[in-house]
């Protein structure tokens, strides 16, 4: 009886399959949508891009809460919160479960546990 062949099929990949994608420059992060920055932050733990996305979120006035592990921003009229509601320093947060911004209705004072910009800044070891 005949045995099955174990030969590799003949094919040739196009050259574009061998090309490396262009490197992501940190300057590109300023052009990304908010949801993309959150994706980079949560999907790339301990990656330098996580740190750079955090810096970009801080430049957009988002603050990271160390205890809750959520991003917060002071709510304003652009966020659909009326001016009367913002007098009490109302915050919005990014809900990672529904992947959207929501109004924070918690009664706790979140301000003391928000990391400062210096806490999240990318620091390079002295060489």
Cβ(85)–Cβ(36) below 8 Å = no
The pLDDT-based confidence of 78 (bands split at 50, 70, 90) is: confident
Is pLDDT of 83 > 90?
A: no
Beta carbons within 8 Å of 74's beta carbon, 6+ residues apart: 61, 86, 89, 90, 91, 92
Round the average pLDDT of the chain to a whole number and report it.
Answer: 86
Helices 34-43 and 48-59, axial angle in degrees (round to 10): 150
Query: Which tokens belong to 91?
Result: 């915050």
Helix (H/G/I), strand (E/B), else coil: 49: helix
Q: What is the pLDDT of residue 9?
A: 79
């Amino acid at each position: 009886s005949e045995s099955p062949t174990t030969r590799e099929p003949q094919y040739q990949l196009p050259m574009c399959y061998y090309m490396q994608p262009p490197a992501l420059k940190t300057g590109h992060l300023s052009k990304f949508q908010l949801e993309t920055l959150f994706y980079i932050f949560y999907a790339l733990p301990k990656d330098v891009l996580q740190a750079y996305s955090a810096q970009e979120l801080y430049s957009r006035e988002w603050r990271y809460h160390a205890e809750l592990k959520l991003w917060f921003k002071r709510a304003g009229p652009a966020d659909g919160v009326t001016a009367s509601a913002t007098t009490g320093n109302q915050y919005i947060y990014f809900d990672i479960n529904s992947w959207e911004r929501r109004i924070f209705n918690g009664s706790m004072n979140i301000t003391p546990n928000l990391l400062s910009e210096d806490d999240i800044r990318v620091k390079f070891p002295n060489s």
